[in-house]
Chains A and B, each alone.
Chain A
Amino acid sequence: MPTVYVNDTPVEIGNGKLNCIQAAGLGGVLVPSYCWHEALTVVASCRMCLVEVGDRKPDGTIVMQPKVVPGCQTPVKDGSVIVTGEYDKRNPAVAPLNYPADFLKGGKPGERAKKSQADTLEGLLINHPLDCPVCDKAGECKLQDFSYKYGRSETRMVDDKNTPPNKPQISSKITLFTDRCIMCTRCVRFTREISGTAELTVTGRGHHEEIDVFPGRPLENKLAGNVVDLCPVGALGSKDFLYTQRVWYLKTVDGVCSGCSTGCSTHTDTNKDIVYRLRPRVNPQAQGHFMCDDGRHGYHFANSGERFLRPQVKTDGRFQAASWAQVTPQLKQDIGAAIGQNPGGVVVVLSPFLTVEEAFLFATFFKGLSADVRLALGPVPVIGEDDRYPKDVKGQPVEPVKFTIRAEKCPNRRGVEAVLSHFQGSVIPFADLVRQDLAAMWFAGGYPFKEHLEAAFPADWKAPSLLVAQDLFPTLLTASAKYVLPATASFEKEGTYVNHAGLAQTFPRATRPPQEARTELQLGFDLLGRRGLVQTATIRAEVAAAIPLFGPIGGAVVQNGVKVGT
Chain B
Amino acid sequence: MPYEPVLLARINKPDSPKLEGYRADGGYSTFERALVDLKPEQVVAQVKDSGLRGRGGAGFPCGLKWTFLPKDHPGPIYLCVNADESEPCTYNNRILMEKDPHQVLEGVMLACYAIKSRKAFFYVRYEYGDAFRTLTAAVNELYAAGLLGENILGSGFNLDIVLHRGAGAYICGEETGLIESLEGKRAWPRIKPPFPAIEGAFRKPTIVNNVETLACVTQVMKRGIDWFKSLGVPPDPKNPRDAGSYGPKLYTIAGHVNEPKCVELPMGITITDLIEQHGGGVWKGRKAKAANPGGLSMGFVRADEFHMPLDFNGPGRFQCLGLGTAAVTVIDDQTSMVDVLHNTCQFFAHESCGQCTPCREGTGWMEKITDRLRRGQGRKEDLDILIDVADRIGIMPGTTICGLADGAGWPVKTAIRKFREEFEGAIKSGEKSKYAKTLRVVGAH
Contact = CB atoms under 8 A, between A and B. Distances in A.
Please say whether chains A and B are actual partners in one complex: yes
Interface of A: 42-48, 50, 67-70, 73, 115-116, 119-120, 123-124, 126-127, 130, 155-162, 182-183, 202, 204-209
Nearest to A129: B445
Nearest to A44: B191
Q: In the A-B complex, list the 10 residue pairs whose CB atoms are closest, starting with the nearest.
A: A207-B364, A67-B398, A123-B361, A209-B354, A159-B368, A206-B352, A68-B398, A45-B355, A126-B361, A44-B191
Given A123-B361, A127-B364, A160 B442 contact: yes
A156 B358 contact: no
A205 B444 contact: no
Interface in B281-302: none
A116 B350 CA distance: 24
Contacts of B191: 42-44, 70, 73
B368 A160 contact: yes
A47 B363 contact: no
A206 B169 contact: no
A159 to B, nearest CB: 4
A119 B399 contact: yes
| Most chain B CB within a 10 A radius of its CB, from A46, A116, A126, A204 | A126
24 contacts: A46-B356, A47-B356, A47-B357, A50-B399, A67-B398, A68-B398, A119-B358, A123-B365, A126-B364, A155-B445, A156-B381, A158-B379, A159-B365, A159-B368, A159-B372, A160-B443, A183-B355, A183-B357, A183-B360, A206-B354, A206-B360, A207-B354, A207-B364, A208-B364
Interface of B: 169, 186, 188, 191, 349-358, 360-365, 368-369, 371-372, 379, 381, 385, 392, 396-401, 440, 442-445
Nearest to A67: B398
Given A44-B191, A50-B398, A160-B440, A130 B445 contact: yes
A183 B353 CA distance: 12
A537 to B, nearest CB: 48
A47 B444 contact: no
Contact of B445 (A123, A158, A206): A158
Contact of A127 (B351, B361, B398, B442): B361
A126 B349 CA distance: 14
Contact of B398 (A42, A69, A155, A209): A69
| Most chain A CB within a 10 A radius of its CB, from B356, B360, B444 | B360
Contacts of B442: 158-160
Contacts of B381: 156
Contacts of A123: 357-358, 360-362, 365
Contacts of B400: 47
A247 B398 CA distance: 36
A206 B351 contact: yes
Nearest to B353: A205
Given A44-B401, A120-B399, A158-B444, A207 B352 contact: yes
| Most chain B CB within a 10 A radius of its CB, from A68, A127, A205 | A205
A157 B445 CA distance: 8
Contacts of B399: 47, 50, 68, 116, 119-120
Contact of B392 (A73, A119, A130, A155): A119
B308 to A, nearest CB: 26
Contacts of B445: 130, 155, 157-158, 161
A120 B357 contact: yes
A206 B396 CA distance: 20
B397 A207 contact: no
A160 B364 CA distance: 11
A347 to B, nearest CB: 61
Contacts of A162: 364
A205 B169 contact: yes
A124 B351 CA distance: 18
A206 B350 CA distance: 6
A525 B358 CA distance: 62
A206 B186 CA distance: 13
| Most chain B CB within a 10 A radius of its CB, from A42, A161, A183, A206 | A206
B357 A46 contact: yes
A279 to B, nearest CB: 26
B172 to A, nearest CB: 12
B50 to A, nearest CB: 31
Nearest to B371: A159
A182 B357 contact: yes
Contacts of A160: 368, 440, 442-443
Contacts of A157: 365, 445
Nearest to B385: A156
A161 B392 CA distance: 21
A369 B396 CA distance: 80
A45 B444 CA distance: 28
Contacts of B361: 123-124, 126-127, 207
Contacts of A127: 361, 364
Nearest to A115: B392
A42 B360 CA distance: 18
Contact of A202 (B186, B392, B398): B186
A205 B398 contact: no
Given A47-B400, A156-B385, A205 B357 contact: no
B434 to A, nearest CB: 21
Given A50-B398, A116-B398, A207 B372 contact: no
